[in-house]
Structure 1
């Protein structure tokens, strides 16, 4: 009878003892869901570290306009994933095609925040553009709509403290959280960032960014597939350079198999580069005109940013 009672007691105590033992092990060994989670630790630059500046390609003439192209995500951060593609790979391909197109056209200097599969903190991307004295900053991304694989279309974002829509606010939140590693936000929430946001509201930079956004839509019409809400604004950390007109180009949705295939194709990337390069040339020519007119110089005979035969009335190849 006594032995029977002992067996009953052990039957009830065994699960308790088992879980207690597993919990004790989990406190000492990082076993998922048993007291302590696995933690991915990534070597990041120390605070205050000066970012390594990329090479500036193109004419060896500092008076020529400089465009900094930022391929979104990279390294351990794949960005959006869908239809067998990763955002970091697509954005790098698009960025390289745009760089090559601008260099082939001539007259414009180009730098890329990354030309390989590496991770950059959002603040480093902004720092590169400012340190190089960029005339224009373009951050290239792609999005995912999850299981809604019918969603498609490109969008252009400019900076504003208030998002233009709920979708824009959600997109900005996702992109800004790319710097949250091990529960620590690496590039936001400081007084200096808030000060930059105030400075960014200066009319000159904001207007230039908005005008460039409109140019992209105009030059891409008939060549690129835009979302019905193609021009958007949100508080995106990567657009926080107060003295550099900046846009974030969301090339499309890689959760849409057809759109992902197009963005990854040679033809799709060339179409993007052609339309974007044309918008860039027109924008830089306009800015040069404004600067020269302010200095009292006849702009019509003093700038060659836009190649002969191209200009305000020239649409991208294939435009309707």
Structure 2
């Protein structure tokens, strides 16, 4: 079993090679790739007594939803989603700055509007092991409350998730791969393989974060859902969208509006996101 990082690196390298590797492959190698089995690279032996380089830190990219001219959801008391998400992401970053094994980047660190595609591109630029988009949306009904998490799926897990995604999405693009330099058949195979690896990693991340958070905060009914969120469409970076609550619910708005409650929520999120990110660096 080859690691997710090995597969993604191999795929990106293959695309950058403009498809030349395809023509040079042996029949066995091509069959292995078609069956989703990457070809291992031979590595020189490490001399006895040689120093092993320190493992680089895992990269976590946090995406505070909305910003600038886009306030996101607005609660009955005037709480704006863009302010809630930025505050939570900054608090998570501050919590994790104490760790040497994780490096945190924010797609925005102030009240700035950033297109969805640019958020995903930023995660690729930073070499993210995990991309987490933080939200506090308006729910389809005012009774909905509690934390929930979403992974990407072409088909929404339910009508609730579909409506949330429809509200968020403004673009419809596959981000992360420039396959223009290779033939269509090879590009399709490589992108599909990368998608499957990252999709599986996203599902595991979603489950672990929600299971952990469920011990600390109230959860939405059926808190693990899926929908076609544009911001989750990277084929190579495991991505999860977390709804910290819904500003359309009076209780959730009170909690998200309160700086102390928000900081506590961020602390819990940091505690549960950190091990997932570190494990993805190992994967």
Task: Calculate the TM-score normalised by the size of structure 1.
Answer: 0.63
How much has 1:213 moved relative to structure 2?
0.7
Equivalent in the alignment of 1:225: 218
How many positions carry a matched residue from both structures? Answer: 220
Change (3 A) 1:125 1:281: same
Answer yes or no: is 1:169 the counterpart of 2:157: no
Equivalent in the alignment of 1:155: 148
**Unmatched tracts of structure 2, length 5 or more:** 1-53, 179-186
Change (3 A) 1:252 1:190: closer
Work out whether residues 73 and 137 of structure 2, in 8 Å CA contact, stay in contact via their aligned partners in 1.
Answer: yes
1:109 to 103, 113, 124: 103
SS in 2 for 1:157: strand
Answer yes or no: is 1:96 the counterpart of 2:90: yes
Q: Relative contact order (alpha carbons < 8 A, sep ≥ 6): 1 or 2 greater? A: 2
SS in 2 for 1:224: coil
How much has 1:200 moved relative to structure 2?
7.9
Work out whether residues 65 and 109 of structure 1, in 8 Å CA contact, stay in contact via their aligned partners in 2.
Answer: yes
Larger Rg: 1
Change (3 A) 1:63 1:105: closer
SS in 2 for 1:202: helix
Post-superposition Cα deviations, 1:71-130, rounded to whole Å, max 9, x if no partner, equal 000111111111221111111111111111111344211110001101010000000001
Work out whether residues 57 and 100 of structure 2, in 8 Å CA contact, stay in contact via their aligned partners in 1.
Answer: no
CA distance in 1, matches of 2:106, 2:164: 23
How much has 1:199 moved relative to structure 2?
3.7
Per mean C-alpha deviation after superposition, the further-off stretch among 81-90 and 198-207 is: 198-207
Post-superposition Cα deviations, 1:121-159, rounded to whole Å, max 9, x if no partner, equal 00000000011111110000112137x543211110101
SS in 2 for 1:143: coil
Equivalent in the alignment of 1:210: 203
Change (3 A) 1:242 1:176: same
How much has 1:168 moved relative to structure 2?
0.8
Q: What aligned pairs does 1:1-320 form with structure 2 within 5 A after superposition? A: 63-83=56-76, 84-145=78-139, 148-177=141-170, 187-188=171-172, 199=192, 202-290=195-283
CA distance in 1, matches of 2:192, 2:114: 24
Cα-Cα RMSD: 2.7
Work out whether residues 200 and 243 of structure 1, in 8 Å CA contact, stay in contact via their aligned partners in 2.
Answer: no
Work out whether residues 101 and 278 of structure 2, in 8 Å CA contact, stay in contact via their aligned partners in 1.
Answer: no
How much has 1:170 moved relative to structure 2?
0.9
CA distance in 2, matches of 1:151, 1:161: 23
CA distance in 2, matches of 1:152, 1:162: 23
CA distance in 2, matches of 1:266, 1:206: 34
Equivalent in the alignment of 1:296: none
Change (3 A) 1:145 1:244: closer
Post-superposition Cα deviations, 1:244-292, rounded to whole Å, max 9, x if no partner, equal 11000011111122211211223322232222222222213433444xx
CA distance in 2, matches of 1:138, 1:161: 19
